[in-house]
Amino acid sequence: MNYRELYDLWSTDTFFNESTRNELLSIKDDEKEIEERFYRDLEFGTGGLRGVLGAGTNRMNIYTVAKASAGLAKYIVANGEEAMKKGVAVSFDSRHFSPEFAKVTASVLAAYGVKVYLSDELRPVPMLSYAVRYFKAFAGVMVTASHNPPKYNGYKVYGEDGGQVPPEAASEILKNIEAFSDVRTVKMISYEEAMNTGLIEIFGEQVDIDYTKMLTELVIDKDAIARQADMNIVYTPLHGSGNKPVRRILKEIGFKNIHIVEEQEKPDGAFPTVKTPNPEDPNALAMGIELAKKTDSSIVIGTDPDSDRVGIACKVVENGEVKYKPFTGNQVGIMLLDYILNSKKEAGTLPENSFAVTTIVSTKLAGPICKYYGVELQEVLTGFKFIGERIKIDDEFGDKHFQFGFEESYGYLSGLNVRDKDAVVAAMLICGMAAQSLDRGETLFDRINRIYDKFGFGFEEAVSFTLEGKEGSEKISGAMASMRAELEACKNLEEAKKLAGGPDVLAVRDYSKSVRYIFSEDGVKTEPINLVKSNVLLYELGGDKGLDWACARPSGTEPKLKIYFGVYHSDRDAALDRLATVKKEMSDFVQSKL
């Protein structure tokens, strides 16, 4: 069917509920809006679904959720009776319709004979990942759109290791979803009918207890925490699912003075107190900072709606004035990396054959830090599923020992029992690190400056071009195609200068073709990249330490073309000047393609 035929079906057929039909009838004279809602099915990518809430095949609603769940159910059924018995763990966050979508997911799975473990209340991503492993389930579903604006929701699928499903499994699930050409053929039963099948089991407090106990085993430097137990901490869950688990673990490990931003404590899918519930945005911590000033807190922590990302601000005194300054995700990442490795090395508990994992668009300072401690650093594509995959391969089934994983977008992980970014363990570690710093008479800013003094200055930034809808998607695809065409036409080092709008380009990694192009005066050489294919172009720019880079990639979860930059230098001011130049030239270059 074309988009118009689908619209007519959805707006008139009584299979669709009255609210859906009324919503669609209200746009009957808006042809562009009708096309946007029905020109395609909401895309099921490697992480699942994410889209704007509303009626239509290209929107998040009970019917697109049911169709995705049916595709997952078919995948599980195809894996045999044992997989069906192992079942699926399902959780949800505070977003609009998250509880309803979770119940639809459970009902459809049960209709196909699949066992379901359904959370009795909102619980975050890391606890869903943990629940998959706790129940030895075959898969997991988390209903969330992470840090997106309120109009979004989403549906993330997990494998039996607790990590997001790898591309191969996602492809099989997608095939099953696409096989339902008509959503009316999906087995949809009411939640009450599904409960009567006996296949849905509700889980709650016991998982909380076990998860918290697991986290206590990951504490670093317990003595410093004990000595600084009275340290004042401000925490805001930003209306999301982190409220209970974060407060629970901080109390459990001994912190006594945890101040909660009351206006942001309760779950609310409208996120009324922030422009966006994203701790990457320092403005999201504004209310927390105001409370910190009143309570003389050392640190402010904020988690996003599904509590897989965490942002922080630290107290500093400048010219007698108390201020709270935020850290970037990269800064927190390298501080935690150094904190964990240094503390374990001093305690004699850092195993041989240890490794850490980060992503290709995260800070390159992780490399020299890991080298200093004799730890292997692995780089993977953007997406925490790839970090989880390395844990599975090299620790769970290998002879190496995972210590820490992080990505620049404020995601961190320690331990083996969760396989996605975990803002709960990160909050615990950050507070422990702040306590250790306070115990040594320093702030976290003193700590990051010690790292810079030791390993060199590194600064990273990112720019996003938001392009929504069908037209936006086409522009993003066109821009990437244009940059790739120029790369393939480049013949030598001199011509390579044009590939990023100005900075010298020594090499380019095209992850879509798994090829690295290396430029010289004599021409171009190529070498393979041993990672799965992805629509990413990374430009190697040399620089003072030979580590500078810029990268272009379409977001996998938002309608954005994202541009990343990293610059490294022995001198702070020189690094910042170079970053400003690279950022402007690369941004202008990419924008010219849109």
Catalytic residues: 146
**Which one, of 565, 569, 563, 575, lies nearest residue 540 by Cα?**
565
| CA–CA gap between residue 173 and residue 178 (Å, rounded) | 9
- Beta bridge partners of residue 402, listed in sequence order: 355
Would you say 71 and 113 are in contact if contact means Cβ atoms under 8 Å apart?
no
Strands 88-92 and 139-143: parallel
**Which one, of 213, 185, 447, lies nearest residue 338 by Cα?**
447
SS3 459: strand
Q: What angle do CA 406, 407, 411 make, to 5 degrees?
A: 70
| CA–CA gap between residue 508 and residue 519 (Å, rounded) | 8
| CA–CA gap between residue 264 and residue 259 (Å, rounded) | 12
**Which one, of 262, 240, 247, 257, lies nearest residue 299 by Cα?**
257
How many residues does the structure list for the chain? 594
| CA–CA gap between residue 112 and residue 571 (Å, rounded) | 62
| CA–CA gap between residue 228 and residue 222 (Å, rounded) | 10
Would you say 588 and 462 are in contact if contact means Cβ atoms under 8 Å apart?
no
**Which one, of 438, 441, 410, lies nearest residue 299 by Cα?**
438
Neighbours of 251 (CB within 10 A): 12
**Which one, of 43, 313, 60, 26, lies nearest residue 171 by Cα?**
43
- DSSP string computed for 245-306: HHHHHHHHTT--EEEE-GGGTS--TT-TTSSS--TTSGGGGHHHHHHHHHHT-SEEEEE-TT
Spell out the residues 6+ positions from residue 474 whose beta carbon is closer than 8 angstroms to its own: none
Of all residues in the chain, what percent are helix, strand and coil, respectively (each to 5)? Answer: 45, 20, 35
| CA–CA gap between residue 287 and residue 250 (Å, rounded) | 20
Helix axes 329-347, 444-455, angle to 10 degrees: 80
